[in-house]
Structure 1
Amino acid sequence: METEIPALLAARQLIRPERFLFHSSRMRMKTVSKDELSAMDAQSDRCALELSDARVDVLGYACLVATMSMGVGYHRVSEARLHGRTVENGAPAPVVTSAGALVDGLATLGARRIVVVAPYMKPLTRLVIDYLASEGYEVIDHVALEIPDNLNVAAHDPQNLPGIVAGLNYKDADAIVLSACVQMPSLPVVPKVEALTGKPVLSAAIATTHAMLRALELERIAPGGGALLSGAY
């Protein structure tokens, strides 16, 4: 999130007048496991409070699987609670989660049958698939790359993703989720995978950017951001 969302908005600045500043508050997590994700989520209230001190215009909660591992529909609970922290601090700001953004981004594309690439271990990937199913999406094929270390997730080479997608059954999919994780980079190959598959391609980072722009009431467009940020929606 701290690399790809600024990259998307920097590209947007080349074609639109709005300018953006970025502030981050970090939650600790080393191994992508259910216990560490739960402990990390408990730190989100602190982060929302710290960021609202800067009087930001929108907050984005980066970790998709942390939200989805807390139970179906949790993104709505999280967004409402964290917005409440900003209100209590006298600096109300909308909050978007990457989990909710992906759910809403797929709806924007009109996608129902999807293919998902995730870096998580298989049990966590299953939680993501079940969460998406609870929101009305059918994951017709997926891959769990089973990378437990969070830094290794960030180090995964996005150039590997086109080949990974080529091995999935995407023919009947409405869209491809190239990275169901804001930590795993995918932005450099989004246009390539769209061209190779003929399908709309999005990621957790692209969906979060879309949701943040919508919360800011700005045009949802950013070069290199795939179909969702093409301006067609």
Structure 2
Amino acid sequence: MTDHHIGMIVPSSNLTMETELPRMLRAREDAHPEDRFVFHAARARMQHVTPEQLRAMNAQAERAAAELADARPDVVATACLVAIMAQGPGYHCTAEDSISAALRAEGSKAPVISSAGALIAGIEALGARRVAIVTPYLKPLTQAVVDYLTDAGIEVVDALSLEVSDNLAVARLDPADLRDHYTRLDLSGAEALVLSACVQMPSLPSIQPVEDELGLPVLSAATATTYRILQELGLPPVVPNAGRLLAG
């Protein structure tokens, strides 16, 4: 059995990154018991999803990375998608580089991924270029996500904003409601559906049922982050009942 240590930089108010990712990887352990996953988190202060608090949280990333380095993780994921995307197109590369530098300064060689970069990679891995998205954000932040994906060559054919700014309230949204929310989108031109463009908005219980009902690939920021974690660990990105991206 091999232990894989996963470091996570999460907003202080995030409740979902530390539940959905472990849930997916525990399911993978059941299918592949030779691999076991151990999680270590460092927190960056953020309570409300506003541009000011997102910028302040980003400024704490290097401190959080230095703390994680002490645990010698095998991979580090930074988890707030909109905090990165709100800084402008391509910023995930800058964020990943600065976190990598902080880890290297503390003697850690762990590769770094971001949920923002992972979502782009996940959409591309599905061969999709036209997507619809559901976000919990206020409309201006959803537009920032749309602009970010557009710059990466991904057309957002429709977007739904649930307009919840309190980050704890986002975590308490019922993922079952997404089975109704997505029907408000125009999916006629979509090649994939991002059921949750936010690692704080729970969606895992609805990913596979919506995909089965819709017939299109369905992913989330969390499933895409899991996909990239497994890639960086050199493991097949396979998790049962988590959508086509993780179907192997």
TM-score w.r.t. structure 2 length? 0.92
SS in 2 for 1:146: coil
Q: CA deviation at 1:172?
A: 2.1
Superposed CA RMSD: 0.7
Q: CA deviation at 1:224?
A: 2.0
Give per-residue Cα distances to partners, 1:195-227, cap 9 Å, x unaligned.
111100000000000011111111100112210
Q: Percentage identity across aligned positions?
A: 50
The match for 1:4 among 12, 20, 28 is: 20
Superposition pairs for residues 188-227 of structure 1, below 5 Å?
A: 188-227=205-244
Q: Does 1:29 align with 2:46?
A: yes
SS in 1 for 2:193: strand
SS in 2 for 1:40: helix
Runs of 4+ in structure 1 displaced over 6 angstroms? none
Q: Does 1:172 align with 2:225?
A: no
The match for 1:93 among 110, 122, 134 is: 110
**Aligned equivalents of 2:157 and 2:189: distance in 1?**
8
Give per-residue Cα distances to partners, 1:128-157, cap 9 Å, x unaligned.
000000000110011000001000000000
**Aligned equivalents of 2:86 and 2:70: distance in 1?**
28
**Aligned equivalents of 1:53 and 1:222: distance in 2?**
29
Superposition pairs for residues 1-233 of structure 1, below 5 Å?
A: 1-16=17-32, 17-231=34-248
Contact 1:44 1:82 in 2 (8 A): yes
Q: Which runs of 5+ in 2 are unaligned?
A: 1-16
Give per-residue Cα distances to partners, 1:19-71, cap 9 Å, x unaligned.
01000001111110000000001011011111111000000101000000111
SS in 2 for 1:199: coil
TM-score w.r.t. structure 1 length? 0.98
Contact 1:187 1:224 in 2 (8 A): no
Give per-residue Cα distances to partners, 1:169-211, cap 9 Å, x unaligned.
1132110000000000000011111011110000000000001
**Aligned equivalents of 1:171 and 1:163: distance in 2?**
17
Give per-residue Cα distances to partners, 1:107-143, cap 9 Å, x unaligned.
1001001000000000000000000000001100110
Q: Which runs of 5+ in 1 are unaligned?
A: none
SS in 1 for 2:42: coil
Aligned to 2:11: none
Aligned to 2:7: none
What count of residue pairs does the alignment treat as equivalent?
Answer: 231
**Aligned equivalents of 2:98 and 2:232: distance in 1?**
17
1:9 is matched by which residue type in structure 2?
L
